[in-house]
Structure 1
Amino acid sequence: MGVLFLFQDPLGDDRGLAYQYPRAALYQEAGEGFADLLAVGGEAQEGRLLLKVRLARYPNPLEGPLGFSLATVALFLDTGEGGEETLVPGLRTPPGEGWEVGFSLTGFGAERRDPSGKRTPARVWREGEWVVLDTGLPPGAYGVYGGVGLFDPFAPGYLRPTSPSGGPWTLLAPPGSPPLVDLLAENPKDQVRAYETGVLKPSRPPRLSLRRESLLAFALGGVSLLLAFLLRR
């Protein structure tokens, strides 16, 4: 198994631009952090790319088989030229950096989809605090887009919608806001800019890196994530 990359995301930035969570008791009782993205990593295993996702917390009031049930993780990979530039309503890629393969990851399983809307099941499992997704793709220097929203089994992409008025089961957010409360952006200013402009920059691994350097980065990232988690508690 080879570590390819680790993208970290700041702790406690799961509020979009002044989003307010739904008022239903389910969310009030769950507490904070269940939709807070901390990291997305990539590993090569038997010629396939595995994506690993870390959230701050995993409450599971709906008894999802993966050990969480309130968050939906949206992942998109830019694997070639062109591609679809709409990520979710209210959020796009930069021009010419669209995605070719997308994934919706919930506590109840994962789906792979393409820009045409075709959906197929994807293999997913838990490894401790990480949720691991088998993309079925060969490892590559792909651009990665990611974000976390609130799970809704009936909504497109399993993402609970936003509205300017909010509600018991709806996120309160400015008009046209994407249904994602956290975006994959290692620099907090990049996340703010993405919400303000509606354009999210991809995270891209170094094209040339030694495996030893990647392993060191992954180890250091793991230490910083542990420290952040302990400090939050």
Structure 2
Amino acid sequence: MLFLFQDPLGDDHGLAYQYPRAALYQEAGEGFADLLAVAGEAREGRLVLKVRLARYPNPLEGPLGFSLATVVLFLDTAEGGEETLVPGLSTPKGQGWEVAYVLTGFGAERRTPKSEKAPVRAWREGDWVLLDTGLPPGRYGVYGGVGLFDPFAPWYLRPTSPDGGPWTLMAPPGSPPLVDLLAETPLDQARAYETGVLKPLWPQGLYLRRESLLAFALGGLSLILAFLLRKR
């Protein structure tokens, strides 16, 4: 596994969002849009993204075994990029995304900032839902969130409104249509909802920042020089 980002259980209500009032959601119970983890693996030379939700009710009979949630994942793969994630939510300045993936119980799509779409392979492995990005493994910044599935919305995300409704999330004006955000801490998640800016998560371990590699190299050089000077 290249990276694993975990997200708290039971935080799928945005900032006091209220779920739509249609019987479909009342009968489904809680947790179907609760993100627990996003991971990345290298398989056959490509990056595979893995998503885990708390529950997978499937009243609409999605072929991937769930049908009420939509997962959106954005990758920062280069300098610059598109800074708008979804309505009401953006990246920090200069940390935009170059490629996005929309995952529902009915399949997955790859998208670009120019609104280009293409299907990608998605499948289930136990409690994980996976998709093949088609990208080589690399150290990419990751943005992610979960909303409620709407087949007619641009990102397949059910919209928000201050009044809510049978098929609409009740949320403050301008709130993003995501009930859970991938964030480093609950405080970071709350700040993202309050400010409309979500910070990316970056893989650690195998993928070190260029600055960290430089610091490591300089540190090693300093030790070698100190050793040589001591021998004189």
Q: How does 1:82-93 map to 2 (within 5 A)?
A: 82-93=80-91
How many residues are aligned here?
208
SS in 1 for 2:57: coil
CA contact (8 A) 2:70 2:148 kept: yes
User: What is the CA–CA distance in structure 2 between the aligned matches of 1:77 and 1:158, rounded to whole Å?
Assistant: 18
- Residue 99 (structure 2) pairs with residue 101 (structure 1): yes
Q: Which amino acid aligns with 2:147?
A: G
User: What is the CA–CA distance in structure 2 between the aligned matches of 1:126 and 1:206, rounded to whole Å?
Assistant: 26
User: What is the CA–CA distance in structure 2 between the aligned matches of 1:156 and 1:148, rounded to whole Å?
Assistant: 14
User: What is the CA–CA distance in structure 2 between the aligned matches of 1:75 and 1:187, rounded to whole Å?
Assistant: 18
- Residue 49 (structure 2) pairs with residue 35 (structure 1): no
> How many Å apart are 1:209 and its aligned residue?
5.8
User: What is the CA–CA distance in structure 2 between the aligned matches of 1:37 and 1:79, rounded to whole Å?
Assistant: 23
Structure 1: gaps of 5 or more residues: 211-233
Q: Counterpart in 2 of 1:199?
A: 197
User: What is the CA–CA distance in structure 1 between the aligned matches of 2:67 and 2:199, rounded to whole Å?
Assistant: 28
Once the two structures are superposed, residues 140-187 of structure 1 have per-residue CA deviations (whole angstroms, 9 ceiling, x without a partner) of: 000000000000000011000000000000000000000000000131
The structure 1 residue matched to 2:125, chosen from 124, 127, 131, is 127
SS in 1 for 2:155: helix
CA contact (8 A) 2:67 2:106 kept: yes
Q: Counterpart in 2 of 1:25?
A: 23
CA contact (8 A) 1:85 1:95 kept: yes
Q: Counterpart in 1 of 2:179?
A: 181
CA contact (8 A) 1:141 1:207 kept: no
The structure 2 residue matched to 1:72, chosen from 70, 79, 97, is 70
> How many Å apart are 1:206 and its aligned residue?
1.5
User: What is the CA–CA distance in structure 1 between the aligned matches of 2:31 and 2:22, rounded to whole Å?
Assistant: 16
User: What is the CA–CA distance in structure 1 between the aligned matches of 2:181 and 2:61, rounded to whole Å?
Assistant: 25
**TM-score relative to the length of structure 1:** 0.88
> How many Å apart are 1:51 and its aligned residue?
0.3
CA contact (8 A) 2:138 2:207 kept: no
SS in 2 for 1:156: coil
CA contact (8 A) 1:21 1:172 kept: yes
SS in 1 for 2:2: strand
CA contact (8 A) 1:91 1:200 kept: yes
Once the two structures are superposed, residues 71-106 of structure 1 have per-residue CA deviations (whole angstroms, 9 ceiling, x without a partner) of: 000000000000000000000000010000001100
- Residue 150 (structure 2) pairs with residue 149 (structure 1): no
Structure 2: gaps of 5 or more residues: 209-232
> How many Å apart are 1:208 and its aligned residue?
3.9
SS in 1 for 2:189: helix
User: What is the CA–CA distance in structure 1 between the aligned matches of 2:99 and 2:81, rounded to whole Å?
Assistant: 9
Alpha-carbon RMSD: 1.0
The higher radius of gyration belongs to 2
